[in-house]
Structure 1
Amino acid sequence: MDALRELAVKLGLRIHAKLKKEDLVTRLARAGRRVASKPARSAGAVGVSRRRGVRNPSLGRLAPSAKRRKKPAAAKATPARRIAAPTESPPQDAPLAVEVAHKFDLPRHPIPQGARSPHDHLGELPDAYGTGLLFLVARDPYWLYAAWDFTPSQMRAMRRAARHGEMRLRVDAGEGGALGICRDIALHPMARDWYFKVDHASTEYRGALGYWDAEGRFVVVARSAPTRTPPDAPSPRVEAHFATIPFGMSFRRLRKLVDARRRPGEAWMEAISRLQAEGRAFPFPVGAERPWSGEQAQRLTERIQAAAHDAPPSS
């Protein structure tokens, strides 16, 4: 920006401090075109006009002037004054090219070979790795999601061995399959995952991927680990933990203060809240909260359940 201002001063442009860069560049471009198109002043001799004669009434003719002035010599040519212009003036109709750098632009120069990472060009990720795994997880209390990792060639081989060329996903419910098979889904030939609905919340489910062979046996090619759907009700835990954490204290120092008195399996924030409620000494002011009574916890549970089922709370 300073270089552009110096160039503007050389060209005789009037600029002010709040002039934007793009406006300054535009004015410099116009000034450069004017300088490039303006012809230089030619160095010629300065002409001197002769003085006309004066009419003499007695002679009836034009008499020359009493004193004839000598024709002065031609003035020496003085070179025209030139204004310093940019080294490379842009064409008259072409805008001034300005290169603007952006934050995330890639460099135009080639990257040295030694600076390249061996992980830059690993190729495209495959559609499947062929591990033969079946993944089953609960999306909500009544929906499950299943995905399997088989390559297209593995799936084609299994469909050729299957009766009617059909792969199936079977899901049983209950601990150890106590509730029996609840879903038997015929899969699309190009499917690699599936969403399906189940009947019970807070229930354990297992999946099996396979096919019926020509002899009428169900051949299992993959089994999933058990998964449990979440309950269709608010959590029974209604306790609330309040802890004071100073803004200026580092977590490393705060952890040293808590880890010595932290119980096995206790969450970090729960430990801080318990220690502050017990009146433990901390190097910062702590406002301990009184624990909730059983009646308060019961009323909070009723209100949460009523809001979840869109019903008015009991008085």
Structure 2
Amino acid sequence: MKKILILTDYRNSFRREEKSYYSLSLNKMREVFIKNSYEVEVLSYIDIINLGLENIENQNIVYTSSADDNYKKYIDDIVFYLKDKNKIFPKYELLKCQENKGFQELYKLKQGIKSLKYYYLCNLKDLNKVENKLTYPIIMKKINGAGSSQVFKINSKNELIDKIKKNIKTQEYIKKYLKKKISEIIIKLKLDRKNLKKYQNYVLEEINMEPFVLQEFVPDLESDWKILVFGKKYYALNRRVREGDFRASGSGKLFFIEPPESVLNYAEKIYKKLDTPIASLDICINKNNECNLIEFQSLHFGPYTIMKSNYYYEKINSNWKQIFKKSNLSEEYANAMVEYINDKK
């Protein structure tokens, strides 16, 4: 019999439900897998550590992630090891895309997904090398964090420089750090003035490091689309931009209305290129009626759209059909995994 190993977290949970601290139903997931002729084993990350990672091989592994940065690093390390001797769903690169807007852009590039122009930078020196290519307004994003709280519209070079400085570390912190360390360095290393100045510059550069993404600004947006894809099923949510703002994400102005066919077609194309069982896609339409991918996730994303929708869309005989049926998140998650795993054989 075919086998699936479900990897849970330290609370024996598989994230995430509507709230990030709620688990999907492992019983419902197990029922779907068994119905599709899979033998199921459920273990936590610490369970497989105790068993010995070297003993986990030739398995189909469906794994959970986390919103906690430190625990996610732990998961990342384990999944990195498991991926070479097992089949991992979703694949390892998509774990790295979770709440990492910088790696998302690199993965899009790798998968041949053309979308909004971007620059992935880490400090002010990087900015100096691309500044003449930038067009304002531009969007600046810290690479981590959900929603739109770390997304900013920048209108000029000076505003961008100020935002980068605030985004990284304050000059006051740097001065205090240097003042404390310089005396220690003189004593320990007996540096002359020339080498001491070099070290000061080095410390300044090292402190001023925090990756960020600059992304092309799409003007006059009134809304965007959140599209969740679970295998062949597409769930659509329209998100309106707040008054006096440029962001639809986090606005709370949410509407279950029929999306343009172009949005569903674009979502299908992106979903296939991402090579994932499930996906959360943020899609906008510019003034030329062209669709663009703003961001995406394949793990640990908010499932509001599937949980609150009374219908989904499915392409049948090359046409999109709206199917009125309430979906269960845990069942559809497992169904999408089964469909993807079977297609990969």
TM-score normalised per structure 1: 0.18
TM-score normalised per structure 2: 0.17
The structure carrying a bigger strand percent of its residues is 2
Radius of gyration: which is bigger?
1
Greater RCO structure (CA 8 Å; 6+ sep): 2
The structure carrying a bigger helix percent of its residues is 2
